[in-house]
Amino acid sequence: MIERYTLPEMGRVWSDQHKYELWCRVETLVLEAHAAAGRVPAEVVEPVRNAPPPTPERVAEIEETTQHDVIAFLTAWADNTEPRSAAAYVHHGMTSSDLLDTALAIQLTDATDVLLDKADRLVAALRDHGLAHRSTIKVGRTHGVHAEPVVWGHRVADLAFAAARSRDRLRAARDAVGVVAISGAVGTYSLIDPSVEATVAEALELRPADASTQVVLRDGISEWVSALAIIATVCEAIALEVRHGQRTEVRELSEAFGSGQKGSSAMPHKKNPIRSERIAGLARVVRAAIVPVMEGIPLWHERDISHSSTERVFLPDAAITTDYLLNLTAGLVENLVVDADRMRANLESTGGLIYTSSVLLELVEGGLSREDAYALVQTAAMETWNSGVPFRETLRARAAASSVTLDEARLDEICRPERYVANLGPLFDRLAALS
């Protein structure tokens, strides 16, 4: 992922230098387990443990000849080991994927922990914002068209619970990828004792694979990437709400606009929802990882390498992009500008059409058939749409023409936006308890 969208903590998780540090850690744990069991000389452990990780530049230089990254790493690390002869016992009984998959599990779980911290921040931001606007009346929209009155906090609560569920899916996916496999060339422990795998897993606070061939089956990694894609898409749902709310015709919401910020090189008046649009664009990048990574599940027999190049691109990019998205979305919510007066004005802009559902039921409860009540209300509503005459006036005229008596006092009662949101108390109680 380009540096523009890479935050430092997540960038380090996926850096080449950190990867080689993890490879050294895994190889050292395996060597220590062998030595403890008496399978390799105990005196080789300390020199290997003290050998500094090779630089990415040195590994790349050797790989130009070997065309094999693990062998290049082992050679470069052996060159850093004093005495070099101690390195002869490194990688003892292992295959490359024992190292690669186990180190990848560390990266994936470390990346997940970074993401979970940011997901907690987003959930908290949405919860607090939703509670702050539990009484902020606005119009609800279905198909983009005014529907019934709602409160802004209700929509935010929906997004808060979605963000929390997405975070919890990621937490479950962490267990799916936190798997150690050190089982040899085809997964049969032919040259390495299963106890080594168990010992290394315990040291890393991960779990041994239930079974592995030369690799761990990629269903767990696919689950993890899918969890990231859901998080990214929930971020996009939040951003989409802001993008709509910042449209000139709506103007109910807006991103924070800082002193000195510019919206357009040509039009000085512009205040564009650039953060929200960036969220929408980057969510596509994360979703794009699902299919390529999932196609790493079917490999030839005990293993082929077709998944490797895909994962080298998509796993870091998906993690880095989701990390950036969570940070950007949390900041968007924390600094969101809400225009409650504009929300109220928009709600009233259709002349009372937002109350048709209550009027329909009131007429039915007064004795009209649903069909007759619907026809009367719809006819009045269409006249309001076409003429701009307030709905209560068109309704009164249509009712008179149909010899239907209206209870004006009762209509005054039901044509209040607060009546539509009176039952939301338990929802906001649940939101307040969200953590």
| CATH code, 153 | 1.20.200.10
Buried b / exposed e over 132-166, threshold 16 CB at 10 Å, is ebbebbbbbeeeeeeebbbbbbbbbbbbbbbbbeb
* pLDDT at 265 (0 to 100): 87
Residue 104, domain member (yes or no): yes
Same domain, 290 and 406: no
Residue 75, domain member (yes or no): yes
Same domain, 334 and 382: no
Q: How many domains, the chain?
A: 3
DSSP string, 175-209: HHH-EE----TTSS-SSS-HHHHHHHHHHHT-EE-
* pLDDT at 122 (0 to 100): 98
Active site members: 143, 264
* 128 neighbors 43 (Cβ within 8 angstroms): no
Same domain, 175 and 202: yes
29: three-class secondary structure by DSSP: helix
* pLDDT at 2 (0 to 100): 83
Residues 175-226: tens digit of each pLDDT: 999 999 999 999 999 999 999 999 999 999 999 999 999 899 999 999 999 9
DSSP string, 311-367: HHHHHHHHHHHHHHHHHHHHHHHHT-EE-HHHHHHHHTTTTTGGGHHHHHHHHHHTT
Same domain, 109 and 247: yes
Same domain, 176 and 315: yes
Same domain, 124 and 50: no
* pLDDT at 259 (0 to 100): 87
Same domain, 382 and 291: no
pLDDT tens, the chain, 435 aa long: 789 999 999 999 999 999 999 999 999 999 999 999 999 999 999 999 999 999 999 999 999 999 999 999 999 999 999 999 999 999 999 999 999 999 999 999 999 999 999 999 999 999 999 999 999 999 999 999 999 999 999 999 999 999 999 999 999 999 999 999 999 999 999 999 999 999 999 999 999 999 999 899 999 999 999 999 999 999 999 999 999 999 999 999 999 988 888 988 899 998 999 999 999 999 999 999 999 999 999 999 988 888 989 999 999 999 999 999 999 999 999 999 999 999 999 999 999 999 999 999 999 999 999 999 999 999 999 999 999 999 999 999 999 999 999 999 999 999 999 999 999 999 999 999 999
* pLDDT at 422 (0 to 100): 96
For helices 16-36 and 96-132, angle between their N-to-C axes, nearest 10 degrees: 120
> Residue 68 sits in which domain range?
1-92
Same domain, 52 and 106: no
Q: Which of 92, 111, 131 is the last residue of a domain?
A: 92
Same domain, 283 and 207: yes
